[in-house]
Structure 1
Amino acid sequence: MARIPYADPALPEHAAAAAHIRASRKGISHLHRALLNAPPIAAGWIDFYDAVRYKSDLPGKLRELVILRIAAINGAPYEWDAHAPIGLREGMTQAQLDAVPEWESASVFDATERAALAYCDAMTRHIHVPDDVAAGVAALLSPRQVVELTVTIAGYNCVSRVLEALLIRGDDPLPPD
């Protein structure tokens, strides 16, 4: 069970942020119910992650690949469970999904995917990205896409850290929406 109560979106103090979340996501997930305890944070969260997910030139498959890698590294099952189906819809194969935890020894990723995974590993595990890893990404992506990849990795590391610090789980019971 989460370390904080899941907020009731029907409460007046949550209504505006809840409506903002519903307008973007159609429903209010466990994560968003937790964030609703701080309505301005919940609304800003939606705006930021909508930009990352829906207003980016980064291919969706590459975006989901690094999000899943972050979930694997950080031990964030909620993040994995939420993004595995999206990854498949965005073009990942089941073999790629299965290989994410041990990607370095897998032959199912192309050069761009391998460069993005190495960049993701460096950012997630060490924060500082070695020059050769950064150059590998820069050689394959536009400057805009490098920024989008970097922000996606940084942002979804934030997601997994919030999920795990608050012990948010997708099977926690929620009151009706």
Structure 2
Amino acid sequence: MTAPRIPPLDPEHLAPKVRDLLAALPDAALRTANITTTLARHPELLAASYPFSRMLLYAGTLPDRDRELVILRTAHLAGSAYINAQHVRIGRLAGLTPADIDRTTAGPGADGWSAHEATLLTAADELHHHACVSEATWQRLAQHYGEQQLIEVSILAGHYRMWAAALNSFGVAPDPAPPTAGREATDAAG
């Protein structure tokens, strides 16, 4: 796609309701991110989706590293340049090395993953391709996770698959790299 099908709104053209909604978001990077300014065209959806996305990203029960492995693998499988760009930055903050990030594209069979990490990537693959985690993969995940974390792995992969489909369809371009590497500058991940 050479141009967005649904372009981000110019901040000067935001309706007062949308300006108020964006002003309530916790950081400037998120207020101006392409995902946010595109969703600003549907204020109710933006308002409803933000708390759920934020919960998964910052208040979930999965370790940060595990969460980012699932998101990056899902972004790769779904061909989402937007999610990938955002979560490369967030993944680094979560402790992923550049080699880890590169290896997510190779999948669970790549050398260098722990057995648990390979299982997480396998779960992301199965959810992407079959909309279900196989029994064998589920049992391996259950050796490390409780019920809440098992629920979260499936919801997380599905949530980012949904966003990938939407962002790819809308033609949302990745945001420019933030000038700082701080967590506030990367909150725009969606």
Q: 2:88 aligns with which of 74, 77, 84?
A: 84
Letter in 1 for 2:8: Y
Question: Does 1:60 find its partner at 2:64?
Answer: yes
Q: What is residue 39 of structure 2 aligned with on the other side?
A: 35
Cα distance change on mapping 1:89 and 1:68 into 2, 3 Å: same
Q: Residues 68 and 100 of structure 1 are in contact (CA less than 8 Å); yes or no, is this contact kept in structure 2? A: yes
Question: Does 1:14 find its partner at 2:18?
Answer: yes
Q: Residues 33 and 175 of structure 2 are in contact (CA less than 8 Å); yes or no, is this contact kept in structure 1? A: no
Question: Does 1:159 find its partner at 2:168?
Answer: no
Structure 2 unmatched runs, 5+ = 177-190
Q: Residues 31 and 37 of structure 2 are in contact (CA less than 8 Å); yes or no, is this contact kept in structure 1? A: no
Q: CA deviation at 1:17?
A: 2.2
Q: Could you tell me the percent identity over the aligned residues?
A: 26
User: For the residues of structure 1 that align with 2:82 and 2:91, how far apart are their CA atoms?
Assistant: 14
User: For the residues of structure 1 that align with 2:132 and 2:161, how far apart are their CA atoms?
Assistant: 14
Cα distance change on mapping 1:43 and 1:14 into 2, 3 Å: same
Cα RMSD after superposing both structures = 1.9
User: What is the TM-score of this pair, normalised by structure 2?
Assistant: 0.83
Q: Residues 21 and 28 of structure 1 are in contact (CA less than 8 Å); yes or no, is this contact kept in structure 2? A: no
User: For the residues of structure 2 that align with 1:154 and 1:24, how far apart are their CA atoms?
Assistant: 27
Q: What is residue 175 of structure 1 aligned with on the other side?
A: none
Cα distance change on mapping 1:104 and 1:149 into 2, 3 Å: closer
Q: 1:4 aligns with which of 3, 6, 15?
A: 6
User: What is the TM-score of this pair, normalised by structure 1?
Assistant: 0.89
Q: CA deviation at 1:86?
A: 0.9
Of structures 1 and 2, the one scoring higher in RCO (CA 8 A, sep 6+) is: 2
User: For the residues of structure 1 that align with 2:77 and 2:70, how far apart are their CA atoms?
Assistant: 10
Q: CA deviation at 1:128?
A: 2.4
Q: What is residue 148 of structure 1 aligned with on the other side?
A: 152
Q: Residues 21 and 43 of structure 1 are in contact (CA less than 8 Å); yes or no, is this contact kept in structure 2? A: no
Cα distance change on mapping 1:132 and 1:58 into 2, 3 Å: same
Q: CA deviation at 1:145?
A: 1.0
Structure 1 unmatched runs, 5+ = 173-177
> Residues 27-81 of structure 1, C-alpha deviation per residue, up to 9 Å, x if partnerless?
3210111111111111111101111011112011111111110111011111111
Question: Does 1:121 find its partner at 2:121?
Answer: no
Q: CA deviation at 1:148?
A: 1.5
